[in-house]
Amino acid sequence: MKRGRLRVLLGAAPGVGKTYTMLEEGKRLASEGHDVVVAYVETHGRAATASMTEGLEAVPRHVESHRGMRLEELDLDAVLARHPEIALVDELAHTNAPGSRHGKRWQDVETLLDAGIDVISTVNAQHIESLGDVVLGITGAAQRETVPDAVLRGADTIEVVDLAPGALRDRLAAGLVYPAERIDAALSNYFRLGNLTALRELALLWLADEVEQSLKAYRAEHGITGTWESRERVVVALTGGTEGETLLRRGARIAARSSGGELIAVHVSAPDGLRAPHPGTLTAQRALVEQLGGAFHEVAGEDVPRALVEFARSVDATQLVLGVSRRSRLAALLGGPGVSQTVIRESGEIDVHIVTHAAAGSRPALPKLGGALSRQRLIAGFAIALVVGPLLSWLLAAFHSESSITSDVLAYQLLVIVVALVGGIWPALLTAVLSGLTLNFLFVAPTGTLTIADPRQLLALALYVVSAALVSYVVDQAARRTRIAMRAAAESQLIASVAGSVLRGEDALQALVTRTREAFSLTGVRLLVDDEPVVADGEPAGGEAVEIPVGAHARLELHGRPLDASERRLLGVIVTQLDAALEHGALARAARAADALAATDRVRSALFTAVGHDLRRPLTSASAAVSALADETLLLGERDRRELLATASESLDALAGLVTDLLDASRVQADALAVRLEPVDVADVVFRALEELGLGPAQVQLDLRVNAPPVLADLVLLQRVLVNVLANAVRFSPPDERVRISVSGFLGRTELRVVDHGPGVPADRRDEIFTPFQRLGDTDNETGLGLGLALSRGFVEGMGGSIEAEATPGGGLTIVVTLADADAGDGALAPIAETGDEDGDS
């Protein structure tokens, strides 16, 4: 059976008109004689959408009961039995009710397609599985119902139903999307203009990527390897040299000339890692690519031109930007065609731009022939040539015959190879020349002279010297590459060590400075920021220090031996990391300062909120009562006058208490709290607090210590502490539970515990209950500014004690106030601690 075709209508957000468009298309197809049924449509109470279902056959829905709820779902079996030509199925991402054949509606659609039924369906961009995290970041709403990308990409047709964000908000405000009670919340949350704009762009980008994938699949299916210029893709080839910035900016300008042009940078590195660019330069160019809105790629390839062309073709590049060769004319003449000429020859349809730059042709000198071997190996090579050479000549002369000339030549050839393996090119060339002259003098007729009778012998001698030179060159290059590889490995180990030190939690600057001194065997290294030493390692030696700039405001001082060119290249990597570490530190300090400002702002906002409500309430009550009493037009009885006076008095007392709390809080914050320490009887303070709150045995259980010594405290402040703590405990205790007050002593300290069996406070938030202006979910605004426990901590610590919150066994919260006994100390005040946030218990 032929599989049905799937057509998906994709929208950026609810309300853009996907369902309406689906029904409109269904009506059009039905009018053309097609068999169309409505398998499932969700109108969401929209009259315009509901009216579009008229005239279309609808398959009855399947009803499921779940937890007492009646849920209507698509009746898959009924649709299969009806077997229409086209089925309209709304909300492809919908999760079916428990008991349905499939868990998701898109699985129902797959079954319909397998049965040969064409399906038209709808889905929002927010429900595409791969976009879930992006949508969460944009809207802050997690999507539980999603459709796998593979299902959508398998659709035969995907169409975007588009509506401008402003027009969608207008539809929402007009009540065409949601009921009136949901409009304000939707406009201020999910349907904000920025959210809708981002979701719209997300839907269009996803569809553009789908078109790109379809285009690539079509080309692969039909064996098309040529470039299709559907849009400009500019590939910039980077060597890691200083010209990279020029090439990138030129490539960005080329891409910008065409709408939707794409910038791609690529660096071809050798598989063995020996053709390494300057890491700092390449890192800076990678950052520039990102700033220009492009993508950076790094590929490995021994043949640079071929790797560049293959990469350009793999990304469907239309333009390829390269820099003019930095080789001199002589090097180009001797070395053959360069990268740019080879790329031009093999690029095919891809346009190649050769861009000149300041570094072009900047190396006119011939390549250096200096060996890469150590001095010890060079000396050993010369020693073998000068010692073994004469011994070999004596040995060959002793056994020479007319037929032994071939073995004599091979023996000298072996000597040259051995010297080349040991000492490199210069000892080998010397050995080749000396052995050639010795062969001519001792073994080539006429012997005893350097005369060559046969010109062919001269050619043989020349070939002998050339072969010796070639072998020496190969050995020298192998040694050079070995040294580069060892150097690269050492540099990698150093960088890994530095990174590991930072990741293990060590100070980044100290780790970098320490590893710099160790890696380059220096006597001392110092990092200075604005001429002030920040980090140092080792001791500076005598003599002038080498200074390396680090960013705009710092420098690195190196004491000890001078560094060679290769070591300075590695030092550049460390300097880049130092600069990044300094910048990270500056950003961290700025973030901490911002956090402090944010915390201050939160406290200020909380203060304004608290003052705006809690001070206004008693002030309004007092003002209304006084105004009523002063109004001569009102005929008030004596009872009314007494009630109004009582109201005014209570309101003014409450207002005075709130203002007192605010002033006390400001004194605590300013460390200006006046404390008068004297011996105080704890039991006396407890009874005073109970009397002030009007609490009796029905609310409080006492467990006081008999003959408890007096504590060193301020009587008034300690009473206010107990009043605040007791008021909280009683307020949050269940009606059938009593608050317990106990007093105990230990090692010259007295502990006063106020125990309740209320909801308690999580362990990780107990310290927050001592922060002012915070209630942590407590919405009762009739209990003051939320300063009770904050002031209590300030008062207790001002008296040299401490106040902590603990969990009550069996549930609840216990506040522990600890004070010094009057006969146990001299009454020295402990510093007032900073306060934290306040919980609902305050």
**What confidence tier does 842 reach under pLDDT thresholds 50, 70, 90?**
very low
For the chain, the domain total comes to: 4
Task: Answer yes or no: do 217 and 255 share one domain.
Answer: no
Scanning 611-637, the segments in alpha helix (DSSP H) are 616-630
Task: Answer yes or no: do 145 and 200 share one domain.
Answer: yes
Domain for residue 615, yes or no?
Answer: no
Q: Does pLDDT of 440 surpass 60?
A: yes
Domain for residue 608, yes or no?
Answer: no
Of 215-219, 312-316, 468-472, 739-743, highest mean pLDDT: 739-743
Per-residue pLDDT reduced to its tens digit, 120-159: 999 988 888 877 777 787 777 777 788 888 888 888 888 8
Select the more confidently predicted residue: 549 or 327: 549
Domain finish residue from 188, 221, 254: 221
Query: Considering the chain, what is the average pLDDT of its residues?
Result: 75
| CATH code at position 786 | 3.30.565.10
Domain for residue 512, yes or no?
Answer: no
262, two tokens: 């794409």
| CATH code at position 307 | 3.40.50.620
Domain for residue 737, yes or no?
Answer: yes
pLDDT given for residue 38 in this prediction: 92
Task: Answer yes or no: do 78 and 206 share one domain.
Answer: yes
Task: Answer yes or no: do 336 and 409 share one domain.
Answer: no
Domain for residue 532, yes or no?
Answer: no
Name the residue type at position 249. R
Task: Answer yes or no: do 147 and 186 share one domain.
Answer: yes
Task: Answer yes or no: do 698 and 770 share one domain.
Answer: yes
Q: Does pLDDT of 743 surpass 90?
A: no
Per-residue pLDDT reduced to its tens digit, 598-607: 765 665 555 5
The two beta strands, 36-40 and 57-58, are parallel
Domain for residue 348, yes or no?
Answer: yes
**What confidence tier does 87 reach under pLDDT thresholds 50, 70, 90?**
very high
Angle at 328 between CA 325 and CA 334, to 5 degrees: 100
**What confidence tier does 366 reach under pLDDT thresholds 50, 70, 90?**
very low
Task: Answer yes or no: do 458 and 339 share one domain.
Answer: no
**3-class SS of residue 43:** coil
Per-residue pLDDT reduced to its tens digit, 685-726: 888 888 878 888 888 888 776 677 888 888 877 887 888 888
| CATH code at position 67 | 3.40.50.300
Of 11-25, 665-679, 747-761, 807-821, highest mean pLDDT: 11-25
Per-residue pLDDT reduced to its tens digit, 197-236: 778 877 777 776 655 555 455 455 545 555 444 567 889 9
Task: Answer yes or no: do 403 and 348 share one domain.
Answer: no
Q: Which of 267-271, 296-300, 329-333, 618-622 has the lowest mean pLDDT?
A: 329-333
Domain for residue 19, yes or no?
Answer: yes
Domain finish residue from 197, 221, 245: 221
DSSP state string for 558-575: EESSPP-HHHHHHHHHHH
Q: Does pLDDT of 613 surpass 60?
A: no
Task: Answer yes or no: do 383 and 262 share one domain.
Answer: no
306, two tokens: 């071929």
151, two tokens: 């299902």
Task: Answer yes or no: do 214 and 296 share one domain.
Answer: no
Domain finish residue from 449, 480, 511: 480
Q: Does pLDDT of 241 surpass 50?
A: yes
pLDDT given for residue 782 in this prediction: 45
Task: Answer yes or no: do 72 and 213 share one domain.
Answer: yes
Domain for residue 242, yes or no?
Answer: yes
* Domain limits for position 295: 233-355
**Do residues 661 and 624 lie in contact, with contact meaning Cβ atoms separated by under 8 Å?**
no
Percent of the chain with pLDDT over 90: 7
Task: Answer yes or no: do 195 and 343 share one domain.
Answer: no
pTM, entire model: 0.35
Residues 6+ away with beta carbon under 8 Å from 473: 425
Q: Does pLDDT of 194 surpass 60?
A: yes
pLDDT given for residue 841 in this prediction: 38
Select the more confidently predicted residue: 375 or 255: 255
**What confidence tier does 334 reach under pLDDT thresholds 50, 70, 90?**
very low
390, two tokens: 């004469």
